[in-house]
Amino acid sequence: MAERVWRPRVLVLPMAAAVIVGLVAFKLSQPPQQRSAAMLDERRPAPKFLALDSQNELLKFERYLGRQEVLLIFFDGEAGADRDPVLLRTRQQFPELKRRGVQVVGVSAAIPQYNRQAMERGGKFPFPLLSDPEFLIHRLWGRYDEDRLETQTGVFWIDRAGQVAWSGKSPQPAVDLDRVLPPLKESSSSEVK
């Protein structure tokens, strides 16, 4: 009769299973950790929509997606485009944005007539101002507060691939406008506040 030789590889499978069970038990025993901001910065395709511009022309937002970077600004239509600090700053810096190939689009709940009146008061905007009086676009982009029944402002940066940062069920607005817009020149910084 042949003598049996001890083979350590027989123990590999049971040892691996024991290590895996131990790691799972350890992980389950730890308190849940908060997700980091980097983990929350998920990118998905930007929601598409149709809207009327200030000339009552129907504009498809998707015409800009996948071709260039897009700066989408939700502004306060009640105050008017001519009084919105973000729109005014963007208009001032538009030549630099255009040079970089960035398309700017503004959206508010104001009807096209009110956007035209704002431009008559404060000057034209070199980018489209779109109307969303039924809040469909605001809801799609997470800019409508259902509890207060009011719109919210916000700025979204959409990359060349048509992707935007998401958090939860809707796109995540840019937190720091200075990271999105080019820096202001010293001579003009006092004008836009």
* Tens-digit pLDDT profile for residues 8-31: 666 777 777 787 877 777 767 766
Q: Per the domain annotation, does 23 fall within a domain? A: no
**Whole-structure pTM over 0.85, yes or no?**
no
Residues whose CB falls within 8 Å of the CB of residue 172, separated by 6 or more in sequence, listed in order: 40, 41, 156, 164, 165, 166
Alpha-helix residue ranges (DSSP H) falling in 41-129: 85-92, 94-99, 112-122
What is the torsional sign of CA 12, 13, 14, 17?
A: positive
Helix (H, G, I), strand (E, B) or coil at 101: coil
CB 73, CB 143: distance < 8 Å: no
Q: Per the domain annotation, does 85 fall within a domain? A: yes
* β-bridge pairing 102-108 and 69-74: parallel
Overall average pLDDT of the 133-152 stretch: 95
Helix (H, G, I), strand (E, B) or coil at 70: strand
Q: Look at residue 32 in the predicted model and tell me its pLDDT.
A: 55
Q: Look at residue 10 in the predicted model and tell me its pLDDT.
A: 67
Residues whose CB falls within 8 Å of the CB of residue 73, separated by 6 or more in sequence, listed in order: 86, 87, 90, 104, 105, 106, 107, 153, 154, 155, 156
| CATH assignment of the domain containing 116 | 3.40.30.10
Question: Rounded to a whole number, what is the largest CA-CA distance in the chain?
Answer: 105
Q: Look at residue 181 in the predicted model and tell me its pLDDT.
A: 72
Q: Per the domain annotation, does 179 fall within a domain? A: yes
Q: Which token pair is 70?
A: 């897009």
Q: Per the domain annotation, does 178 fall within a domain? A: yes
Q: Per the domain annotation, does 94 fall within a domain? A: yes
Q: How confident is the model over 63-121, as pLDDT tens digits?
A: 999 999 999 999 999 999 999 999 999 999 999 999 999 999 999 999 999 999 999 99
Q: Which residue has the higher pLDDT, 91 or 33?
A: 91
Q: Per the domain annotation, does 24 fall within a domain? A: no
Overall average pLDDT of the 34-56 stretch: 78
Query: Could you tell me the residue range of the domain that residue 87 belongs to?
Result: 40-184
Integer-rounded Cα Rg, in Å, for the chain is: 26
Q: How far apart are CA 175 and CA 20, in angstroms?
A: 41
**Domains of the chain: total:** 1
Q: Which token pair is 179?
A: 């990271």
